[in-house]
Amino acid sequence: MTSTLITGIGELTTNDEELGTLTDAALVLAGSRVEWVGAAARAPEADERVDVEGRAVLPGWVDSHTHLLFAGDRSAEFAARLAGRPYEASGIAVTVEATRAAPDYALVANLRRLVREAVAQGTTCLETKTGYGLTVGDETRAARLAGGLVDEVTFLGAHVVPPGWDADDYLRLVCGEMLDSVAPYVRWADVFCERGAFDADAAKEVLTAAAEAGLGLRVHGNQLGPGPGVRLAVEHGAASVDHCTYLTDSDVDALADSDTVATLLPACDLSTRQPLPDARALLDAGVTVALASNCNPGSSYTTSMAFCVATAVLQMGMTVEEAVRAATLGGARALRRHRGEGAVGVLRPGARADVHVLDAPSAVHLAYRPGVPLTHAVWRKGRRVR
Ligand code: NIG
């Protein structure tokens, strides 16, 4: 097992309660794990030594919400939005048609391209969802193809009711044959609880069936207007409720009293011309907040977690520390990967060796220099990938 000493770290964000943020620091990676963290002057020897010359180091981004298994392009829909047309869930059917028609190799090539793009910008842990197949065969195919290429796969058969289907019949299919077929390939199930997608009763059925099948739960909620998504997510013990663009005070209170993470997707809100979520209200109430890219061809076609962090700081009232934490440890909590051996979103002995070196002396530069590619080097599971 090869060990690597990363030294000369100007500012090291560990996200570990005891270690905190260190200056003049060093890290030792051994195999796929972090072995040692501390002052550069006390660093042990290792097989290899990399001096990052005063740069800032963070845990790799944890992007806990993406939809990367798709084919096709919806730039015309985006352009229509710029001209004033509202975002509607019905656009999803366009990607469903293109995805169903695409051969496996094309879907895998597109997924690999987006993963490479994300990793090159410092993302080291990625979740992705099915949801552009919406038949038993196409959903199972998506889950099977995504497994092994990303860290976590989520079943989103309950994305929209596909054209030509009766809503009750489709719900039965999702909660029955489709769930049975996809479950062996995924850890999570999700439901898009929104007008034009699944209402509260339908979402409840999906969450109940998925929990009975042994899957962890996630919810797309309160994206396009106030609604029951947050409440349902909390009631069902979902790990995360994602979007949270329109929240009532009682939604915030419910989240604050729960273990459900509020995952905010600011790139999506900008792309769909929605307001940005009230991150401050969530944080002040003690809610765990995550930031994720929601990369997909319809509502948020970006893999840039740095863009999400800069937006959160510049426009959502989050401090740099809060935004960086939300995009690393917050995502890890949303995926229930923040604890124990191999934890992500944190740099401490035993954590996964996922390291992001910025070409900047401090994390403040992520907001101070928005839009500038600041990734200098990336290690994922102890291997240098950039
Ligand atoms: O999270 N909201 C539902 N699903 C995706 C959008 C998918 C699409 O428009 O293709 C989202 O924004």
pLDDT one-digit tens code per residue, 245-268: 999 999 999 999 999 999 999 999
What percentage of the chain reaches a pLDDT higher than 90? 99
Q: Is 229 annotated as a binding residue?
A: no
**Cα(8) to centroid of ligand 1, in Å?**
42
Tell me the best of 156, 293, 299, 300 to mutate to test the pocket of ligand 1, counting ligand atoms within 8 Å of each CB and taking the most.
299
Residue 93 pLDDT greater than 90, yes or no: yes
Q: CA angle 267-191-69, nearest 5°?
A: 60
**Cα(223) to centroid of ligand 1, in Å?**
9
Q: Is 147 left (phi over 0), alpha (psi -120 to 50) or beta?
A: beta
Query: Domain 3-59+345-384 maps to which CATH number in 1.10.3720.10, 2.30.30.100, 2.30.40.10, 3.20.20.140?
Result: 2.30.40.10
* pLDDT confidence of residue 13: 98
Cross-strand partners of 38: 26
| Dist. CA 318–CA 279, nearest whole Å | 7
Q: Is 67 annotated as a binding residue?
A: yes
Q: Is 170 annotated as a binding residue?
A: no
* pLDDT confidence of residue 66: 99
> For the domain 61-334, what is the CATH code?
3.20.20.140
Q: Is 296 annotated as a binding residue?
A: yes
Residue 88 pLDDT greater than 90, yes or no: no
Of all protein residues, the one whose alpha carbon is nearest to atom 12 of ligand 1 is 299
- Closest ligand 1 atom to Cα of 243: 1
pLDDT one-digit tens code per residue, 148-167: 999 999 999 999 999 999 99
Distances (CA, A) of 197 to 160, 202, 342: 5, 9, 36
Tell me the best of 97, 127, 155, 220 to mutate to test the pocket of ligand 1, counting ligand atoms within 8 Å of each CB and taking the most.
220
| Dist. CA 80–CA 159, nearest whole Å | 22
**Cα(297) to centroid of ligand 1, in Å?**
8
* pLDDT confidence tier of residue 199, bands split at 50, 70 and 90: very high
**Cα(343) to centroid of ligand 1, in Å?**
28
| SS3 per residue for the chain | CCEEEEEEEEEEECCCCCCCEEEEEEEEEECCEEEEEEEHHHCCCCCEEEECCCCEEEECEEECCECCCCCCCCHHHHHHHHCCCCCCHHHHHHHHHHHHHCCHHHHHHHHHHHHHHHHCCCEEEEEEECCCCCCHHHHHHHHHHHECCECEEEEEEECCCCCCCCHHHHHHHHHHHHHHHHHHHCCEEEEEECCCCECHHHHHHHHHHHHHCCCEEEEEECCCCCCCHHHHHHHCCCCEEEECCCCCHHHHHHHHCCCCEEEECHHHHHHCCCCCCCHHHHHHCCCCEEECCCEECCCECCCCHHHHHHHHHHHCCCCHHHHHHHHHHHHHHHCCCCCCCCCCCCCCCCCECCEEEECCCCCCHHHHCCCCCCEEEEEECCEECC
Work out the mean pLDDT of the chain and round it to a whole number: 98
pLDDT one-digit tens code per residue, 341-366: 999 999 999 999 999 999 999 999 99
- Closest ligand 1 atom to Cα of 299: 9
* pLDDT confidence tier of residue 25, bands split at 50, 70 and 90: very high
* pLDDT confidence tier of residue 90, bands split at 50, 70 and 90: confident
Instruction: Parse the chain into domains and list their residue ranges.
Output: 3-59+345-384, 61-334
Where does ligand 1 bind, in terms of residues with CB under 6 Å? 67, 91-92, 95, 192, 220, 223, 268, 294, 296, 298-300
- Closest ligand 1 atom to Cα of 194: 2
| Dist. CA 173–CA 365, nearest whole Å | 49
Q: Evaluate whether 3-59+345-384 and 61-334 have a shared fold.
A: no
| Dist. CA 343–CA 339, nearest whole Å | 5
**Cα(20) to centroid of ligand 1, in Å?**
36
What percentage of the chain reaches a pLDDT higher than 70? 100
pLDDT one-digit tens code per residue, 36-45: 999 999 999 9
Residue 89 pLDDT greater than 90, yes or no: no
pLDDT one-digit tens code per residue, 204-256: 999 999 999 999 999 999 999 999 999 999 999 999 999 999 999 999 999 99
Residue 26 pLDDT greater than 90, yes or no: yes
| Dist. CA 232–CA 242, nearest whole Å | 12
Q: Is 65 annotated as a binding residue?
A: yes
